[in-house]
């Protein structure tokens, strides 16, 4: 089992540790998931996400070569700006979702922990002219919540000028870091990459701030679910296309039919056809009645029992105090307000289709730089 | 004097008199589950064999079930848990009880662990 550079700190803080993508990571601390979740929504929480993959693609052909794997306009991505995107498969499915940042001619990518090996292999197999460098020497932490800015303003005020989905080099209390204004909780926040040996000092400095509490992967999961953010391997995988998964806004206008550089990524025929005609199923939010959480794998059906979809994520939302779920549904039933039924332990639970997210995103310093997104998503 | 007995599945059964027992989950179990957000209780009058699933317990993170450590018929359920499932975290062996059973075979209690034996059992799990 691999360990994060912050492993000893988690033990010291009394974390309940558990396996995640080959790492032993904190699931929750003694305050537990509900309190950590609510603290993140009202104050600021520190998450260790060192298990995620970090890599650089280096060389003058980086943008061209990456565009061969990703349906996003990377050539127009300004310096230090980041974009949420996905590696697509030949069948139009999603190989992984990732965040990519422009470092000039080079690019920096952050990948899902469970897909890191796959992604690096995918990059190295398909990228010939540029170098793919993995940054295993780095730790990665996230400071998330409405008070994150206040905390960092005390430590390194210039960080607070970062716009949402941009990054820069900073020193926090003398520790050199790459900081981005980003995260996966729906809250304003920052992700900080630094050399592993400096992570402990910085994490402790941040935890010493009165607003900051540690939060584990359990709260990270409930927070992202409320924010309607998909989890790879659960809400999307190689059998779901970006259009079905509702992240078609990651496909830039220039890469679409009629754009400047249409297609040229794996599965383009399938994905571009779905962009034109719509996909047969859609990713939606659901509000089940009652109190019971509805989990992954639960069938979505009609009153007469006909199956029309499947739940991929669900829980009792800590901020809402009621069950919420997300999943795929036949497009005929995907409109918000549609009444559906969820088959839970043999019983039908009535539910309503709603527009995601469940909890409004509260990103700060947002600025729209590309007019290429569709579907009204403005969170990236 | 009531006597609490424990199962290797982390349930407890406390005999109230010769023929009935109250059941619930242990402190160890609630700690492993984390924040409990939903409990589905059995119907009064339902009959179960030892090892049967009698209740659903859902934490923020995961679903679990309560398997009764003893056989019997449900005479009372702790319906307060439906509105306040967190009681199971706060007081697993007192206010967080799940249901009372009229025992069909009180001798099953003897097959369960004593408090000392259960403590020994859980200390070897970590």
Q: Is residue A244 part of a domain?
A: no
pLDDT at residue number B2:
61
Q: Which of B43, B27, B20 is nearest to B88 (CA)?
A: B27
Residue with tokens 């900081």: A179
Q: Which of the listed CATH numbers 2.40.50.100, 3.30.70.1560, 2.40.37.10, 2.40.50.140 matches domain B3-105?
A: 2.40.50.100
**Euclidean distance between CA atoms A58 and A49, whole angstroms:** 24
Q: Are A293 and B40 in contact (CB < 8 Å)?
A: no
Residue B19 has pLDDT above 70, yes or no: yes
Residue A120 CA, chain-centre distance (Å), reads 18
Please report, in tens digits, the pLDDT of each residue of chain A (380 residues total).
Answer: 999 999 999 999 999 999 999 999 999 999 999 999 999 999 999 999 999 999 999 999 999 999 999 999 999 999 999 999 999 999 999 999 999 999 999 999 999 999 999 999 999 999 999 999 999 889 999 999 999 999 999 999 999 999 999 999 999 999 999 999 999 999 999 999 999 999 999 999 999 999 999 999 999 999 999 999 999 999 999 999 999 999 999 999 999 999 999 999 999 999 999 999 999 999 999 999 999 999 999 999 998 889 999 999 999 999 999 999 999 999 999 999 999 999 999 999 999 999 999 999 999 988 765 544 443 333 33
Q: Is residue A168 part of a domain?
A: yes
Q: Are A221 and B61 in contact (CB < 8 Å)?
A: yes
- Using omega within 30 degrees of 0 as the cis cutoff, is the peptide bond preceding A65 cis? no
Q: Is residue A41 part of a domain?
A: yes
Strands A44-48 and A94-103: unpaired
Q: Give the SS3 label for residue A322.
A: strand
Number of domains, chain A: 1
Give per-residue pLDDT as tens, B32-52: 999 999 999 999 999 999 999
Residue A196 host element (H or E): helix A196-207
Q: How many CB pairs under 8 A join A and B?
A: 43
Range of the domain at A158: 2-49+137-226
Chain B residue closest to A36 (CA)? B35
Strands A94-103 and A106-111: antiparallel
pLDDT at residue number A374:
40
Strands A44-48 and A53-58: unpaired
Residue A155 CA, chain-centre distance (Å), reads 26
**Euclidean distance between CA atoms B121 and A342, whole angstroms:** 40
Choose the closest CB to B34 out of A33, A291, A292.
Answer: A33
For position A158, which CATH number holds? 3.30.1360.120
pLDDT at residue number B125:
86
Distance from CA of B126 to the nearest CA of A (A): 11
**Euclidean distance between CA atoms B126 and B33, whole angstroms:** 15
**Euclidean distance between CA atoms B92 and B11, whole angstroms:** 10
Find the helix packing angle between A148-155 and A196-207, rounded to 10°.
Answer: 110
Chain A residue closest to B33 (CA)? A32
């Amino acid at each position: 089992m691999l360990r994060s550079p912050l492993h000893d700190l988690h033990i010291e803080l009394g974390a309940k540790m558990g396996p995640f993508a080959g790492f032993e990571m904190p699931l929750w601390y003694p305050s537990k998931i509900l309190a950590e979740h609510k603290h993140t929504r009202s104050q600021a929480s520190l998450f260790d996400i060192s298990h995620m993959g970090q890599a650089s693609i280096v060389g003058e052909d980086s943008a061209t070569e990456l565009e061969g794997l990703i349906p996003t306009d990377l050539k127009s991505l300004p310096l230090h700006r980041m974009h949420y995107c996905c590696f697509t498969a030949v069948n139009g499915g999603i190989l992984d979702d990732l965040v990519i940042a422009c470092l000039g001619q080079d690019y920096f990518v952050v990948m899902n922990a469970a897909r890191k090996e796959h992604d690096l292999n995918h990059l190295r197999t398909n990228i010939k002219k540029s170098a793919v460098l993995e940054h295993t020497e780095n730790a990665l932490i996230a400071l998330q919540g409405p008070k994150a800015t206040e905390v960092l303003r005390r430590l390194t005020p210039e960080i607070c000028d970062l716009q949402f989905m941009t990054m820069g080099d900073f020193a926090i209390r003398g520790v050199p870091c790459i900081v981005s204004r980003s995260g996966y909780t729906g809250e304003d926040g920052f992700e900080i990459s630094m050399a592993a040996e400096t992570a402990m000092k910085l994490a402790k400095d941040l935890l010493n701030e009165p607003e900051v509490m540690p939060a584990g992967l359990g709260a990270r999961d409930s927070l992202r679910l409320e924010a309607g953010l998909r989890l790879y391997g659960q809400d999307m995988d190689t059998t779901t296309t970006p259009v079905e998964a509702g992240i078609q806004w990651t496909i830039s206008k220039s890469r679409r039919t009629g754009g400047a550089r249409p297609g040229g990524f794996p599965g383009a025929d399938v994905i571009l056809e779905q962009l034109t005609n719509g996909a047969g199923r859609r990713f939606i939010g659901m509000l089940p009645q009652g109190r019971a959480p509805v989990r992954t794998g639960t069938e979505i059906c009609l009153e007469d029992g006909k199956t029309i979809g499947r739940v991929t994520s669900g829980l009792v939302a800590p901020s809402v105090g009621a069950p919420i779920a997300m999943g795929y549904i036949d497009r005929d039933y995907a409109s918000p307000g549609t009444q559906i039924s969820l088959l839970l332990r043999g019983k039908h639970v009535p539910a309503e289709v709603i527009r995601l997210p469940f909890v409004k995103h509260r990103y700060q310093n947002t600025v729209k730089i590309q007019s290429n997104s569709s579907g009204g998503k403005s969170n990236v | 004097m009531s006597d609490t007995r424990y199962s290797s599945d982390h349930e407890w059964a406390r005999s109230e008199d010769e023929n009935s027992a109250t059941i619930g989950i242990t402190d160890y179990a609630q700690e492993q589950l984390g924040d409990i957000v939903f409990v589905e209780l059995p119907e009064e009058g339902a009959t179960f064999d030892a090892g049967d699933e009698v209740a659903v317990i859902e934490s923020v993170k995961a679903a679990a079930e309560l398997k009764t450590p003893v056989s019997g018929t449900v005479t009372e359920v702790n319906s307060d848990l439906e509105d306040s499932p967190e009681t199971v975290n706060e007081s697993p062996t007192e206010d967080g009880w799940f249901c009372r059973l009229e025992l069909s075979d009180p001798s099953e209690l003897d097959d369960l662990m004593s408090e000392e034996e259960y403590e020994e059992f859980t200390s070897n799990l970590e």
